[in-house]
């Protein structure tokens, strides 16, 4: 099946700033379920295997949308590099949730979308965003998380390191691929403290009443697979898929120069498609 690709669509968000999204869908008549993908920490919509994954889902009969969070460090002019570290440093989870909302608002009106079937899928930190958005948004019918985190609070420095963070106003994380020193300003933590009740992943997972597929690899170096077990224990209507020997990106890397998906990500994509077809 051929697919149509609409790239670098500008999404306006007055609460944050404008950002980009891509939309892949089958080249055929009809409307299709909307599947929105949220990237993880230090991720972006054009990373590695994401185009191939989008195309696979489109061939399976979905409108697949992937987007850059507004403050992920990329820009509208250059969506594939971290050209705006100031924006990265000023990111917050609240901004990410606002962006997620705007993406749904925009694409539920797309002429190829069946708005009665909206599904969210998130990777790593984007999985945490996805759980929160699925819980609060009645338009969302189901969700999938890939190597998801289980807590935002756990991602911040602790004790003396937290006090040092407050005093300095910033801490830096090196990007292993680009070697950039990527800042996180203290406003990131302040926003989390202010909104910690609405940013509580555990509470959202425990109160989900939607079909939920949890996917994780046994060799995940960034988020241990026991996190998936915990999410599964919280979410009563969840299904757990553990991929043996899969890492945090299910074999994907940046750049990805192969014409096909890595074997673990292909397995994930096929299973996710079956899961979604079964829930109608």
Residue 271 inside a domain? The answer is yes
127 pLDDT above the threshold of 90: yes
CA-to-CA separations, 127 to 8, 54, 205, in angstroms, rounded: 22, 17, 11
pLDDT in the model for residue 279: 83
Please give the average per-residue pLDDT across 17-40, as a whole number. 98
- Identify which of 145, 185, 148, 192 has the alpha carbon closest to the alpha carbon of residue 165: 185
Kindly report, residue by residue over 83-122, the tens digit of the pLDDT: 999 999 999 999 999 999 999 999 999 999 999 999 999 9
Strand 32-38 to 63-67 pairing: parallel
- When divided into structural domains, the chain yields a total of 1
Residue 58 inside a domain? The answer is yes
- Cα 49–Cα 213–Cα 106 angle in degrees, nearest 5: 65
Tokens 């987007």 locate to: 67
Cα gap 64→61, rounded to integer Å: 9
Cα gap 147→79, rounded to integer Å: 24
Helices (H) and strands (E) in the chain, counts: 9, 10
Kindly report, residue by residue over 214-250, the tens digit of the pLDDT: 999 999 999 999 999 999 999 999 999 999 999 999 9
Terminal Cα-to-Cα distance of the chain (whole angstroms): 21
Residue 22 inside a domain? The answer is yes
Please give the average per-residue pLDDT across 17-32, as a whole number. 98
Residue 208 inside a domain? The answer is yes
Residue 163 inside a domain? The answer is no
Please give the average per-residue pLDDT across 164-190, as a whole number. 97
Residue 190 inside a domain? The answer is no
Element containing residue 272 per DSSP (H, E): helix 263-278
Q: What is the CATH number of the domain that holds 217?
A: 3.40.50.1820
Cα gap 22→171, rounded to integer Å: 32
pLDDT in the model for residue 260: 98
Across the strands, what pairs with 41?
none
Residue 75 inside a domain? The answer is yes
**Lateral strand order in the sheet of 238-243:** 3-11, 19-26, 63-67, 32-38, 113-123, 140-146, 211-217, 238-243
Q: Where are the beta strands (DSSP E) in the chain?
A: 3-11, 19-26, 32-38, 63-67, 113-123, 140-146, 170-174, 181-185, 211-217, 238-243
Tokens 């080249």 locate to: 27
pTM of the model: 0.98
Residue 171 inside a domain? The answer is no
User: What are the tokens at 142?
Assistant: 């189901």
280 pLDDT above the threshold of 70: no
Across the strands, what pairs with 146?
123, 215
49 pLDDT above the threshold of 70: yes
pLDDT in the model for residue 105: 98
Please give the average per-residue pLDDT across 161-167, as a whole number. 96
Give 205's contacts (C-beta < 8 A, 6+ positions apart).
131, 135, 150, 212, 231, 234, 235
What is the domain range of residue 96? 3-156+199-278
pLDDT in the model for residue 20: 99
Please give the average per-residue pLDDT across 260-266, as a whole number. 98
């Amino acid at each position: 099946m051929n697919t149509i690709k609409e790239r670098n669509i500008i999404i306006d968000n007055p609460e944050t700033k404008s950002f980009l999204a891509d939309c892949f869908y089958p080249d055929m008549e009809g409307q299709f379920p909307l599947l929105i993908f949220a990237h993880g920490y230090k991720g972006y919509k054009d990373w590695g295997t994401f185009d191939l994954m989008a195309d696979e889902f489109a061939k399976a009969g979905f409108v697949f949308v992937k987007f850059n969070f507004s403050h992920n460090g990329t820009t509208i002019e250059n969506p594939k590099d971290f050209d705006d570290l100031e924006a990265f440093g000023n990111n917050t989870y609240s901004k990410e949730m606002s962006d997620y909302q705007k993406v749904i608002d925009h694409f539920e009106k797309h002429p190829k979308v069946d708005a009665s079937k909206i599904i969210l899928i998130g990777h790593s930190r984007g999985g945490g965003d996805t759980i929160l958005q699925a819980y609060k948004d009645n338009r969302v019918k189901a969700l999938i998380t890939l190597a998801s985190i289980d807590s935002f609070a756990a991602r911040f420095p602790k004790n003396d390191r937290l006090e040092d963070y407050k005093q300095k106003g910033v801490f830096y994380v090196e990007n292993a691929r680009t070697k950039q020193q990527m800042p996180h300003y203290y406003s990131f933590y302040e926003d989390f403290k202010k909104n910690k009740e609405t940013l509580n992943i555990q509470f959202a997972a425990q109160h989900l009443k939607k079909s939920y597929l949890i996917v994780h690899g046994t060799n995940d170096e960034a988020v241990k697979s026991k996190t998936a077990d915990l999410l599964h224990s919280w979410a009563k209507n969840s299904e757990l898929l553990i991929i043996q020997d899969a890492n945090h990106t299910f074999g994907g890397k940046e750049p990805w120069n192969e014409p096909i998906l890595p074997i673990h990500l292909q397995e994930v994509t096929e299973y996710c498609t079956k899961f979604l077809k079964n829930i109608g």
